[in-house]
Amino acid sequence: MSNLSVKIGKLSFKNPITVASGTFAHAEKYYALEEVKRLGSIIPKTVTLYAQEGNPPPRIVETPSGMLNAIGIENPGVDVFIKEKLPKLKKIGVPLIVSILGHGDDQFLKIIDQINPYVHTGSNTKDVCALELNLSCPNLRHKTLVAQDAKAISRLIRKVKKRSKVPIFAKLTPNVTDIRPMVRAAEDAGADGVSLINTLTAMVIDVEKRTSALGNFTGGLSGPAIRPVAVHMVHQAYKTVKIPIIASGGVMTAQDALQFIIAGASLVAVGTANFINPRAPLDVLDGIEVYMKRHKIKTIKELHGSLKQG
């Protein structure tokens, strides 16, 4: 049988398949699904310091080969997450990479202070083993996202690294001219890894009403339409930095996930596909196993970053 295990620093994952934050909620619908324990890890819905109601409806609109969403990081806040959501997530028995978002550096640090008592710093954990910083939040010093400003990325990560007890992954936006300075800034500041990519900013117009189809005017494009962009950015990042990459962006099948692994990703997150098929991450995992058996590949390491030039 092929070995799909992945090691990132001191962290060990039984396979590279995880779920993208915001597409699996807090796994409430999956507690009874025994097979969910087969996942390499879970990234729950992003948590903020205080509860957020989210954006006004409509929040979702279908697009060709994709979906536009403007949920607005609706969540109950870190207190409720710790008291009500986290205990149930732990019972699933797979490593948890908790996604957090702060409106300003101080909020990130406050969230981390509250989560720190519940993390696990060992190698084979079935607990909170890492944090994913959702940097698609406003940079309060400028009218940009933190993820669009290399200096802001560096400043925040340096602060967070001094406070967090577990590894940090910086989730970056594709809405930049060049992703390479952003991943380099994350690595230089001490990030343990990066997550690529978040959604692409986009818009759909209702031509009859001449208004946006979304209540928030613009939204984030996800699904198969963005996959080639994501694969390219993951490969750019892989060639630029040495830290591990969690890839996401339009993964629907095992072939899609394999593209990311060959491009250089250590872990692959299934996102929008979860809305169509709740078993999508497991189907992707099964497909990777079939591919490796067919090609007589013994370990997932043989595929990692194996893209041939020319």
Q: Is 25 exposed, middle or buried (0-12, 13-18, 19+ CB in 10 A)?
A: middle
Mean pLDDT of 81-100: 94
Catalytic residues: 137
**Cβ atoms of residues 247 and 196 within 8 Å:** yes
pLDDT at 143: 66
Question: How far is residue 286 CA from its own chain's centroid?
Answer: 21
What domains, with CATH codes, occur in the chain?
Answer: 6-302 (3.20.20.70)
DSSP per-residue codes, 166-227: S-EEEE--S-SS-SHHHHHHHHHTT-SEEEE--PEEE--EETTTTEESSTTS-EEEESGGGH
Mean pLDDT of 166-191: 98
The one-letter amino acid code at 255 reads Q
Mean pLDDT of 170-176: 97
Does residue 139 register a pLDDT over 80?
no
E-assigned strand segments in the chain: 6-8, 11-13, 17-19, 60-63, 66-69, 96-100, 128-134, 138-139, 144-145, 168-171, 193-196, 200-202, 205-206, 211-212, 219-222, 245-248, 267-270
Regarding pTM above 0.85, the answer is yes
pLDDT at 168: 98
Per-residue pLDDT tens digits for 232-284: 999 999 999 999 999 999 999 999 999 999 999 999 999 999 999 999 999 99
CA angle 287, 96, 165 (to 5 degrees): 140
pLDDT at 309: 86
Q: Is 87 exposed, middle or buried (0-12, 13-18, 19+ CB in 10 A)?
A: exposed
pLDDT at 35: 87
Tell me the pLDDT of the chain averaged across its residues.
94
pLDDT at 115: 98
Residue, of 56 and 26, whose pLDDT is higher = 56
pLDDT at 121: 76
Mean pLDDT of 147-166: 97
Mean pLDDT of 94-122: 94
Does residue 134 register a pLDDT over 60?
yes
Confidence of residue 25 (pLDDT cuts 50, 70, 90): confident
Mean pLDDT of 301-307: 98
Mean pLDDT of 80-102: 95
Percent of the chain surpassing pLDDT 90? 87
